[in-house]
Structure 1
Amino acid sequence: MADPKNSGDASWFRHRPGVEPPALRLVCFPHAGAGSAAFADWRSGLPAGVAVLAACHPGRQDRLAEPPVGSMDELADRSVAALLPWLDRPYALFGHSMGSAVAYEVARRLAELPVRQPELLVASGRVAPHRVVPGDFPGDGDDEILASLREVSGHRLDAFAEPALRELLMPALRADYRVLRTYRPEPAVLDVPIAGCVGISDPRCDLVGIRTWAELTSAGFEHRLFAGDHFYPETHRSDLLGYLSRRLPCGGGIPLPARR
């Protein structure tokens, strides 16, 4: 595992503070190809005591010059190393789509360390890692990747029509799809409550799929459906943030029902 004091890890999370010191930090992991900008305006929709830590992996935003990470093991190991200095306060993990798998792998590694454990893991828009069919991912070709992305994002591919932007954005997207295509999870049941969230019109993850996360926790599970498709965190952001505000411990959330 990378050294948490390594200066190269300092840029992995962008801090969006609320009240300091915060009652809780919400650590957010984005969907494939995205960076911390996916959570840029989340702070204003959460309780004042919640600070947002948004992951920004190499190869995107102001880290474009850095080579993207191409394996889940490296991505999770380096994320944990960068996160360790922030674990002085209670925290929860949120991941959307690919980010939910990263959040799970981070939680799995943290469970093996003598550190504060997350209060909650929120998995959004993706079937639990051990239930994903490996052959469901496209190959390395840009056209294959964009066709796969188009299935869930529709009109949101406008940026890739511009050659200059496409050249900037594709390396991170290729790397993230490689992470997903080569990811072979070693399932471990977490002693952390899990909440599964999904858009009711998501073509990739339905109610049955989001419920598979219940198999990965011994500390309680619930699921929540939202209006919208795979990108409901963008189109129905206020609904999601309202739910998180109620569910997070600092929002007075009640314990999740125990897994049976």
Structure 2
Amino acid sequence: MEIAKYGLYTALATSLAFASQANAVVIDDFDNPDAVGVNWVQDTTVDGIGSGNPDRATYDDPLGIIGGERDLWVNLLDDPFGSLTGVALSVAAGSLSYGTGSGVVAEGKIQYDGNDSDAVNIDTAGLGSVDLTLNGGDAFLLDVINTDLGFTFGVQVWSALGAETDTVVYTASGATTGLAALSFSDFVGVDFTDVSAIEFTINTLGEAGQADIDFSIGSVVSVPEPASIAFFGAGLLGLGLLRRRKSQL
């Protein structure tokens, strides 16, 4: 299995260079080896329960994770060959990695909902009120370095202390690389100046999802992106990212 590496950022359409890191709204820099809690979670049993662990930022890096805590959760859905490794989600050296054993179908979640020490349930008001549009932020930027399989991933954002939410599901085709901008405007009824929780879901199709998924994600921050979303037109086509609306909750 080839490794797919992704750099995911909240971005704004004002500058070509990724500048002003010091002014960025950091969602997660995945760079907290001394964090309290667990930076790794694994599920090797098909039981419908899943396995999750909260991971808190250290005092020395209080802004390394938005809200001070990232929650990792994985669930093994199908393991036809009795894989010993099942599915694992881990953080190390500035990246988050997701991997499955041979033939394994699984799902994973990364939650940002404040210091609740709960990796299973999400506190939709846990972040209070965070402005992801600071410095003009208006998109998530996905940087695909290498991949050979397609899969679905969902992004759900809550605002107004959980009163407003929407989920956008994307399908990434395999064997493609490049940049893709996931615009805040894809989300209906969400106020990105008042974000109260964020959740990323790996494989939104359940047992019908793609098997043998392995990839890594880079830091998630709010920084300038190229001069316009249109700049990424060719990259979006190359990636084959197809936006699909889920029901609003």
Task: Report the TM-score, using the length of structure 1 for normalisation.
Answer: 0.26
Task: Looking at secondary structure, tell me which structure has more strand per residue.
Answer: 2
Task: Looking at secondary structure, tell me which structure has more helix per residue.
Answer: 1
If asked which structure has higher relative contact order (CA below 8 Å, sep 6+), I would say: 2
